[in-house]
Structures are given as structure tokens and as C-alpha cells.
Amino acid sequence: EIVLTQSPGTLSLSPGERASLSCRASHTVRSDYLVWYQQKPGQAPRLVIYGASSRATDIPDRFSGSGSGTDFTLTISRLEPEDFAVYYCQLFGSSPMYIFGQGTKLEIK
Amino acid sequence: QLQLQESGPGLVKPSGTLSLTCAVSGDSISSNNWWNWVRQTPGKGLEWIGEIHHTGSASGTTNYNPSLMSRVTISLDKSRNQSSLKLNSVTAADTAVYYCARVPGGCSATSCFFDPWGQGTLVTVSS
């Protein structure tokens, strides 16, 4: 069974700074199936990146995704106040079919 | 605009059955999409429950998380354009926010993701 480990658990940064969030898989995975979601308090997760590097509709270009194999990164180039949230990576794999990381909380420093 | 809306009892007794529906607007439940259920707890985070597609049999084709498979049933009501989730023999560990979500077009060779999600509904298991 594949496990997704996100780091750090909490990232404290200021608006305007650059954020790098990591998602590491326990085994080599298909990049096509690596996804990132943003979740704000009281809201459902929102698709940000799919296929490891493709931005979802209406996602600003300050968000980018990269990586392959076992290591993936979500980068936010210049943080805006609305970007502070919890971010989850997710993978479509074998059984169970959809796996989530435990999340990284991006908070205002 | 596609919208998903979960509904159902917010309180279920231990050993009882959790029953939720997901009303779909802006798309047909009989389109080429997989309709999923995901739950979220503070302790375990996001957990995939299962999914259904309208083809394959009269009741559709389902896939379930092996850890929940023995207790879960997901079905479609085409007349009401909604998906349903039943989870039986519930315990306090099943207390969570339950979401429905769509995998558009299913998992292709190049992508697989949940979009959109419903707003979620909190279900508490307690006597």
C-alpha cells in the first residue's frame, strides 16, 4: 500500500514569500495521478493541481506543481492572504484506490 | 454550473446505519463520470470511501475502500439524479464530515482527480 507523507506539517510564512510544500510517496508513482487540493476552514477541498503540474481552472499562475517518481512539490511563488489554508496531496493508485496525504497547514507568520 | 449537495441525518446511533444522499445539479448522474464519497476526520484526515459509475450492471459499477467494504453500499437514483451512501454498523470512529465528489470522465491515462466536491455534511455517531 502506498503512503503519501507531506512535509512540513505546518509552514509559517508571510504574504509575498515563496512557499514550497512537499509530498513524498512510499513507492514510485505515476505523475499523472498526483493531485493537490486546497482546503479552507469550513469548506470542501478545492482542486489546485492535477497531473502533478497542471493548474486547475481559475487557479492563479503563482501556483505550480512539479516532481516525479516519489517526490512532488507544490510551490506558491508569492503568497497572497487568500492562499493560507491546508493543502493535501492525493494519488490514484491501487487498493485503496484514492490515497491522501495528511496535509500541510500554511499559516500566516 | 455543476453542484453537489449532501444531505442526511446529522446524528446516528452506534450500531445503526448512516444514510446520506448527494444531489447532483448541472450534470447527469448517468453521464460518463464516477461519483465518489470521501470523509474527513480530525484524526485520520481525508479517507476515500467508494465510488460508482452508472454502467456495468443495473445497479452500476462500484469500487470501495477495502477497509470499509464490508459495511458500505453506494447506489444511484437516476430518477432523482443523486447518489446515495449507506454505512452500517457505525461506531464513534465513523463520526466525520462526509463529502461527495465527482471524478470527471473517470481516471484517464493522463489525469485523475475529484472535482467538484459538495460542501460536506457532518455526521456524528452518538447515543
The pLDDT, as a whole number, for residue B16 is: 98
Question: Are B99 and A54 inside 8 Å of each other by CB?
Answer: no
Residue B108 main-chain phi, psi, to 5 deg: -90, -175
The pLDDT, as a whole number, for residue A96 is: 55
End-to-end CA, chain A: 36
DSSP B106: S
CB-based contact B34:B110 (threshold 8 Å): no
Going through chain B in order, the beta strands assigned E by DSSP cover 3-7, 11-12, 18-25, 34-41, 45-53, 61-64, 72-77, 82-87, 96-103, 121-125
Cell of B75: 447506489
Q: In chain B, which stretches have pLDDT less than 50?
A: none
Number of C-beta neighbours around residue A15 at 10 A: 13
Residue A95 has pLDDT above 90, yes or no: no
Rounded CA separation A78/B53 (Å) = 40
* Each residue's pLDDT tens digit, B35-62: 999 999 988 899 999 999 988 777 889 9
The pLDDT, as a whole number, for residue A46 is: 98
Measuring CA to CA, which residue among A90, A95, A101, A92 is closest to residue B69? A95
End-to-end CA, chain B: 39
Question: Are A45 and B36 inside 8 Å of each other by CB?
Answer: no
- Tell which A residues from 1 to 30 touch B, by Cβ distance under 8 Å: none
The pLDDT, as a whole number, for residue B110 is: 77
Residue with cell 492535477: A50
Rounded CA separation A14/B77 (Å) = 48
- Provide, as residue numbers in chain B, all residues whose Cβ is less than 8 Å from the Cβ of A103: 45-46
Residue A55 identity? R
Partner residue facing A97 (CB), from B63, B113, B117:
B63
Interface test with B, best of A37, A89, A97, A99 (most B CBs within 10 A): A97
Rounded CA separation A101/A98 (Å) = 10
- Tell which A residues from 65 to 104 touch B, by Cβ distance under 8 Å: 88, 90, 92, 95-103
